Amino acid sequence: MVDIISELSAKFETELQNIKNSEELENIRVSYLGKKGSVTAAMKEMGKLSAEEKKEFGQKINLLKNTVADRISAKKDEIAALELQKEIDKVPEFDISLPEHFDQGSYHPITLVQRQCETIFKSMGFTVEDYSEVVTDYECFEAVNIPKYHPARDMQDTYYLENGQLLKSQTTAAQNAIYKKYRKQLIENGTPIKAIFPGRCFRNEATDACHENTFFQMEGVMVGKDISISNLIYFMKTMLSEVFRRDIKVRLRPGFFPFVEPGFELDINCLNCGGKGCPSCKHSGWLELCPCGMVHPKVLEEGGIDPEKYTGFAFGLGLTRLAMMKYGIKDIRDLNSGNLSSLAQFTDDEQ
């Protein structure tokens, strides 16, 4: 029986030297230490031996069992290291001393237009205000002369929240707060209120090439003594000429908006044909840009300003539409597509 142990040991060492991968190593482990393995089978033969033979054989077979297990464990580590090195060798060489390449980021076209408009208006003495996207019914409607029966209050047009508040459907919702914030300096110092407040708006609309349920506006107001429509035209024309880097002609058409009286639609000369008429402007020579007008007396009163002493203008400029005009974007959905390769073409150089 002792000879059997010597034979198993010699056979194991020979086979172990020829092992090349983890699968072969597992097979040899099973063939020696498994339930039907050679070492296991030899241990079962101990029952046929005398007590004296069992003692000697038991010591040697247990030593062989432990040796086989240790040698297999060491071989396993050796093979794992070799396999890891093979994977490492497959990786292309990389010089860590080379300068790292960074992809250049870019601003979204709406952000570019908003930043440019803010810069222009600040240069003309306007402050830039921020306002919450969640507002009250009073702020969005009642404070700006939109009564309870107005269609804009319909659930189909406005996103109402469970707590009674709503997602603002227009930046006009900030007007009342702006008037109350600056009315003291207007009344006591005679300093006109001049503010713009860009923001995101939400309306329950189906999306198509010209409409989105989320869009960006920039509200602008100026309130003081003897503010007139000519002031409105001047500031809008100046801003647009700076944005498009060319002289922009504007015109006002009558329009109805509850928060202004009189109200207008501000059009600009078609950017494609220069007013001659083309498919882009439906051969009219003009493009509709934004609603505007003189602030309604009731809106001033709600803001704590006497409409008998002060007048003002307001406009609601669609930043989304302005960005589409400036950059020649045909489909509004492209602005929210998240297509980085498309949006990356717009950089600060565009300004």
For residue 96, tell me if it sits in a domain. Answer: no
For residue 304, tell me if it sits in a domain. Answer: yes
**Per-residue tens of pLDDT for the chain, all 351 residues:** 557 778 888 888 888 888 888 888 888 888 888 888 888 887 877 777 777 777 777 788 888 888 888 988 998 999 999 888 988 888 888 777 878 777 777 788 899 999 999 999 999 999 999 999 999 999 999 999 998 887 766 655 888 899 989 999 899 999 999 999 999 999 999 999 999 999 999 988 777 656 678 889 999 999 999 999 999 999 999 999 999 998 989 999 999 999 999 999 999 988 878 788 887 788 888 888 899 999 999 999 999 999 999 999 999 998 988 888 888 877 777 777 777 766 667 665 444
- Distance, CA of 105 to CA of 88 (rounded, Å): 33
Residues 86 and 204 in one domain: no
Task: Please count the structural domains in the chain.
Answer: 2
Residues 187 and 327 in one domain: yes
For residue 99, tell me if it sits in a domain. Answer: no
Residues 344 and 201 in one domain: yes
Output the DSSP codes for 206-224: ---SS--SEEEEEEEEEEE
- Distance, CA of 171 to CA of 259 (rounded, Å): 12
Residues 141 and 259 in one domain: yes
* Cα separation values, 257 from 45, 172, 260, 261, 265, Å: 103, 11, 6, 8, 10
Residues 115 and 86 in one domain: no
For residue 51, tell me if it sits in a domain. Answer: yes
Contact 219, 197 (CB under 8 A): yes
Residues 132 and 233 in one domain: yes
**In the prediction, which pLDDT does 337 show?**
72
For residue 95, tell me if it sits in a domain. Answer: no
Domain end: 57, 90, 123, which one?
90
Closest CA to 120 of 330, 346, 326: 326
Output the DSSP codes for 147-183: -TT-GGGSTTTS-B-TTS-EE-SSGGGGHHHHHHHHH
For residue 102, tell me if it sits in a domain. Answer: no
- Distance, CA of 206 to CA of 201 (rounded, Å): 15
Residues 213 and 299 in one domain: yes
Q: CATH number of the domain at 137, please.
A: 3.30.930.10
Residues 242 and 197 in one domain: yes
Q: Is the pTM of this model over 0.75?
A: no
For residue 100, tell me if it sits in a domain. Answer: no
Domain end: 90, 119, 154, which one?
90
Which domain, by its residues, includes 189? 109-350
- Distance, CA of 159 to CA of 20 (rounded, Å): 68
Closest CA to 12 of 79, 71, 57: 71
Residues 168 and 196 in one domain: yes
Domain end: 60, 90, 120, which one?
90
For residue 113, tell me if it sits in a domain. Answer: yes
Residues 57 and 131 in one domain: no
- b/e burial code for range 199-220 (CB count within 10 A of at least 16 → b): bebbbeeeeeeeebeebbbbbb
Closest CA to 223 of 264, 263, 181, 164: 181
* Cα separation values, 26 from 17, 32, 34, 67, 112, Å: 14, 10, 10, 16, 63
Place of tokens 């589409």: 324
Contact 202, 165 (CB under 8 A): no
- Which helix (H) or strand (E) segment holds residue 139: the answer is helix 137-140
**In the prediction, which pLDDT does 116 show?**
94
**In the prediction, which pLDDT does 153 show?**
67
Residues 75 and 128 in one domain: no
Cross-strand pairs, 287: 268
- Distance, CA of 52 to CA of 195 (rounded, Å): 106
- Distance, CA of 237 to CA of 5 (rounded, Å): 102
Pairing of strands 260-269, 134-135: unpaired
Residues 21 and 115 in one domain: no
